Amino acid sequence: MNGGWVEPCSISEYGQRKIKIKADSPLFEGLDKEQIVLMSHTDQIQELPEGFFVTASSETCPNVAIESVEKSLYGVQFHPETELTIHGEQIIRNFLYQICHAEGDYTLKNFIGEQIRSIREQIGDEKVILGLSGGVDSAVCAALLAEAVPGQAICIFVDHGMMRKNEGNEVEKAFATKSLEFIRVDAADRFLSKLAGVIDPEQKRKIIGNEFIQVFSEQAMLHDDAKFLAQGTIYPDVIESGSGKAATIKSHHNVGGLPKDLNFKGIVEPLRSLFKDEVRQLGSALGLPQSIVNRQPFPGPGLGVRIIGEITREKLHILQEADARFREEVEADCVPANQYFAVLTNLRSVGVMGDSRTYDYTLALRAVITHDFMTAEYAPIPHTTLSRLSKRITNEVKGINRIVYDITDKPPATIEWE
Ligand code: XMP
């Protein structure tokens, strides 16, 4: 729009890189001349638009940050919004307060008030149906609905059979006592028969998403007084599902249109603009117990994305048992990790147990340190914990004869294995 030229570059940059700040800029005020930032790109500006100046560059990328004070336009090639950009928060702060002159009068309390008003305005006296997964997002969404429209929310817990060990019962226990109508639908057979033979991860997500909507539709028809559908969609779901020209990284089943054959008047997504850490803060502010608020994130399609290859009952059972033991040991040793889970790879190999030969699965363990879940570092679990885990799982869980620990950060990997 301003002229200039962008082209694919010969050396792409992924991960943390050092950049040099080359000119005074309000964007970099208060920062040292060398900064560590997260780069993730295959394009570069080859020719600057007229009136723009370079304010930062890296070893291979000459135009990492540019600006035109006259036009009041500032651009950065790196990702200031992630933790891997060490002073990213300061850069965003500078942008908001120095450049845009924002006042910073937003508070979570205002947010709750605004959302309650907007939910009431949207729903009125009607009933609203919410899919409750037991995860933080839908729980906070439920709490917000209970606050905004008490007695009008019907929470449907679709048990797709791919929850962690005992999780279905825990969810039921936690929510059954709330002043919300709670319905548990045991739909494991339906999901598993649709997933039979499917190995492509995106297709699995789509099948689970569609079936989820199906089960929902059926429940909605039984509750045809509910005119609205609420979902705990959060901002990263919106970004990562791709929109417009952005590449679809993963389609998250919790972002979707309204089922066409249902007569919902509208969709309620009060958390759509929030990041995970904000959702947790909101949950605390709404008085939810810490056990729910600080729960680690769990994908909507559940263990379905943690079983590589075809999903079967047998594999689900193996993964549930192994994952429960992994989480137990990590918690017992107080390993600092924000998310930790097991993945059942599709790799089988020969092993030996006692006098017999086995041909069993390889289990991968994943634990990461992250706050925003957009970037993450693998958690350095002590070897003593890993050895204990390896012995315990191979001894106690039939079907696994080999265990590996994932030592990849995000990027280049993602947190989940799919
Ligand atoms: P990735 O694998 O993309 O995951 O690095 C980032 C975070 O998102 C979680 N995740 C999901 N959360 N619905 C969710 O609510 C989903 O479909 C979904 N898929 C991944 C993942 O566990 C990690 O914390």
Residue whose CA lies nearest to ligand 1 atom number 9: 299
pLDDT value of position 373 = 84
pLDDT value of position 253 = 44
pLDDT value of position 170 = 77
> DSSP letters of 156-216?
EEEE-S-SPTTHHHHHHHHHHTSSSEEEEEE-HHHHHHHHTT---HHHHHHHHHHHHHHHH
Ligand 1 within 6 A of CB of 339:
yes
pLDDT value of position 24 = 93
Residue whose CA lies nearest to ligand 1 atom number 3: 414
pLDDT value of position 251 = 44
CATH of segment(s) 5-99: 3.40.50.880
- Alpha-carbon span 46 to 8, nearest angstrom: 9
* Minimum-distance ligand 1 atom for the alpha carbon of 205: 17
Residues comprising the chain, all counted? 418
State the CATH architecture for 108-302. 3-Layer(aba) Sandwich (3.40)
> DSSP letters of 104-164?
----HHHHHHHHHHHHHHHHTT-EEEEE--SSHHHHHHHHHHHHHSTT-EEEEEEE-S-SP
pLDDT value of position 135 = 79
Pair of tokens at residue 50 = 């007229």
- Please name which of 375, 137, 410 lies closest in space to residue 278, comparing C-alpha atoms: 137
**Contact of 88 with 96, CB cutoff 8 Å:** no
Domain 306-405 has CATH 3.40.50.300: no
Residue whose CA lies nearest to ligand 1 atom number 7: 373
**Contact of 71 with 56, CB cutoff 8 Å:** no
Ligand 1 within 6 A of CB of 414:
yes
Ligand 1 within 6 A of CB of 181:
no
Nearest 10 degrees: Cα torsion 414, 65, 55, 412: 20
pLDDT value of position 243 = 52
Ligand 1 within 6 A of CB of 373:
yes
Ligand 1 within 6 A of CB of 164:
no
The residue to mutate among 204, 211, 234, 252, having the most atoms of ligand 1 within 8 angstroms of its beta carbon, is 252
pLDDT value of position 250 = 41
Which of 78-108 are b and which e, b meaning 16 or more Cβ less than 10 Å from the residue's Cβ? bbbebbbbebbebbebbbeeebeeeeeeeee
Ligand 1 within 6 A of CB of 254:
yes
Ligand 1 within 6 A of CB of 302:
no
Burial class (CB in 10 A: 0-12, 13-18, 19+), 277: exposed
Tell me whether domains 5-99 and 108-302 share a fold: yes
Long-range contacts of 28-35 (CB under 8 A, 24+ apart): 28/55, 28/56, 28/65, 28/91, 28/94, 29/94, 29/98, 30/90, 30/94, 31/87, 31/90, 31/91, 35/85, 35/86, 35/87
CA of 85 to the centre of ligand 1 (A): 21
Q: The sheet that has 266-268: what strands, in order across it? A: 181-186, 153-159, 127-131, 226-230, 266-268
Q: Where are the domains of the chain?
A: 5-99, 108-302, 306-405
* Minimum-distance ligand 1 atom for the alpha carbon of 376: 5
Q: What is the pTM of this model?
A: 0.71
Mean pLDDT by 10 residues, the chain (418 residues): 91 90 95 95 92 95 94 95 93 96 89 94 94 82 91 91 87 72 93 96 92 86 89 84 47 48 83 90 85 81 94 97 97 93 97 92 97 90 96 97 97 93
The DSSP output letter for 307 is: B
- Alpha-carbon span 40 to 48, nearest angstrom: 20
pLDDT value of position 35 = 97
* Minimum-distance ligand 1 atom for the alpha carbon of 250: 3
Place of tokens 């500032």: 74
* Minimum-distance ligand 1 atom for the alpha carbon of 234: 15
